[in-house]
Structure 1
């Protein structure tokens, strides 16, 4: 299958952010896992958070599921404290994300938010400093 999905990952202090777009296949998911771990490896000395912007993510083929489950397991074992998913309500998206990420063995807290502001407020409450220039955040949802 031809790649139609993409992503961008960036770090600010102890928060790893990502913006994902398009339809993902196994190849895109594998590249995401590799880049995510590379960026997150700089944060492992302390608890850290992850915020991901998913409004422009279409969904993924079944082959992404074990790859993303593996990434969630890695996060679980490497001090991830909070994960915030930001996207407008979508039952199919929620189903696939929960299938890949929700586990009773998770040590990190995973929450869904409809707005960036709600996600940032929650991360601030959890003592994570999230600072984004407005134009950078706006570009993620363009």
Structure 2
């Protein structure tokens, strides 16, 4: 089956950013999980954060949650300390509540904009300067 939905993801110092577009299916989710694990490898030596921007997300198929749980457990076990979610719809927040259950070592914040997300992380001691490729 072909991928449905897409994303932009990058690493900025100890912050992994993810901007989600459209409705995701299992194939898109699998590709994201693989790339996300690579990014985690690049930052896991120190506490790190993930910013998820769901402004343009149109939800997902129900068959993705097992692999999302697996990658979130991997993040939880590899030094993720913060998660900031930009989420305009209450249904998105409700759906992510289920996915966040496995993030037992992670402080989670919901906000309305990217600047607000970076401000919250700055108060936690995480700032970003410039983009870098995983492993550099």
TM-score by length of 2: 0.88
- Distance (Å, rounded) in 1 between the aligned partners of 2:115 and 2:11: 18
Matched with 1:8 is 8
- Return the offset for 1:114: 1.0
State which of 108, 126, 129 in structure 1 corresponds to 2:127: 129
Which fold has the larger relative contact order, with Cα–Cα distance below 8 Å and residues 6 or more apart in sequence?
Answer: 2
Contact 1:123 1:130 (8 Å CA) reproduced: no
TM-score by length of 1: 0.85
- Distance (Å, rounded) in 2 between the aligned partners of 1:93 and 1:120: 20
SS in structure 2 of the partner of residue 54 of structure 1: strand
Matches within 5 A, 1:1-142: 2-88=2-88, 90-103=89-102, 106-131=104-129
> Compared with structure 1, are the counterparts of its residues 113 and 32 closer, same or farther at alpha carbon in structure 2 (3 Å cutoff)?
same
Q: Which runs of 5+ in 2 are unaligned?
A: 132-136
- Return the offset for 1:84: 0.5
> Compared with structure 1, are the counterparts of its residues 52 and 131 closer, same or farther at alpha carbon in structure 2 (3 Å cutoff)?
farther
- Return the offset for 1:91: 2.1
Contact 1:18 1:51 (8 Å CA) reproduced: yes
Q: How many residues align?
A: 131
The one-character-per-residue Cα deviations of 1:40-95 (angstroms, maximum 9, x if unpaired) are: 2111111111111111110011011111111111111000010111121x122112
Q: Which runs of 5+ in 1 are unaligned?
A: 134-142
Q: Relative to total residues, which structure has the larger strand share, 1 or 2?
A: 2
* Structure 1 runs, 4 residues or longer, greater than 6 Å off: none
